[in-house]
Structure 1
Amino acid sequence: MIKRFQRRYLDLLGSIYIYNEHRGYTAIDRVLAAVRARWPDDHALISTIESHRTDERKHYLMFRSWFERRGIMPLAVDRTCGHIDRFVGIMFGSKIDDLDPLRIIANDGLFERMCRVISLTEKRGHRQVQILLRHPIVRAEKGLMKIFRIIEQDEPSHWAPYDAWLEAHGRRQSSWWERAIDGFIHSELLLLKLPILFLNSRLSRRNAWPDEQDGCERSIGIPSFAAGG
């Protein structure tokens, strides 16, 4: 019974992460294209966002490899478990896919808001990984521990380009109410959505990998990160 509980928890945890990592790098692709269009000569900003995108894609592939090594597909969680989906929905009143990145980039006020949303999301993710690295169930799974250690090292550079843009343009950092929204979204997932999904015996598994729809090629050597467990 205990082992079944642990497997279910890890399956759900990995499934939520693989959704969010895929959602992350595909959303950054759209932001990056718009930044290149408006500020083609701002090589420093473009480079740091490219690095962020590369890391998100790498993290997605590590989780995918973790599932592949276990011979199972992730559970079919959707955008209701997406932190950035929920945050964007509240802050912009729209789904991510319905936002026009060029309109966001063209308006400094909207881009300022987007920078704060991304920055808060990345900082939240870093704190959560630090918690998971101390979690007894996660610590017993060597493959996930390797993944989370890599994410912990990568995360601090992810909010840097957005905080730097805010500072360089004299824009404010996140306010108390934006941090409160971020905390609410996280608590909602942890205390409400996660238990419901855990107890939902009808929750099916995905029948295809998320990146099969975005035409990206898998990187070489990623599976070694998820060895063990």
Structure 2
Amino acid sequence: MSILTYNGGAMVAMKGDKCVSIAADRRFGVQAQTVDTSVDKIFHMGNYLFVGFPGLHTDAQTVSGKVRLRKNLYELKEDRIIRPQVFSSMLSQMLYEKRFGPFFVEPIIAGLEPGTYNPYVCSMDLIGCPNKPQDFIVGGTASGQLYGMCESLWEPNLTPEDLFETTSQALVNAFDRDALSGWGAVIYMIEPKKVTIRSIKTRMD
């Protein structure tokens, strides 16, 4: 078993029309054993910026703290809010610095560009190589199922409500077929004037 799948989990981020979503399941496990069912895997980094960390949960907590420190120092020095693209470059550089003894996380970043409110999603491998698609990003042990569901359901220029429905249906149907993720989900809907957090109940077995 890969160390990246040791704790399980599933995560997805999707672009819409001037909105973006990021969602993750709530399960924390040790291989097939469920330890907790209310774990937050997505971290708030700014007004319109969130990052999730599929992979080893202890490394996710470490990396989130380190990158938050760097983000705060950047904003103090530059006297401006960090843009999602700058944040992803910062995180990529931080992961690459540790390439010979990497953190076992594969980050997913979702946010809106300040001013234009263009949606931005990005993922990385454990040494920081970025991937910036025009539609959606998936991660975690349910990646295979998520790809199939997202390819089937996603459409360009989705409204916030349609984006929420697409994200939730893709995530729930994917991790229903994955033993290492599940136990409910949390979805962050990022829009120009608000961020909506919704919890979803799913199968509890």
What's the TM-score, normalizing by structure 2? Answer: 0.28
Going by fraction, where is strand more abundant, 1 or 2?
Answer: 2
Which structure is higher in helix share? 1
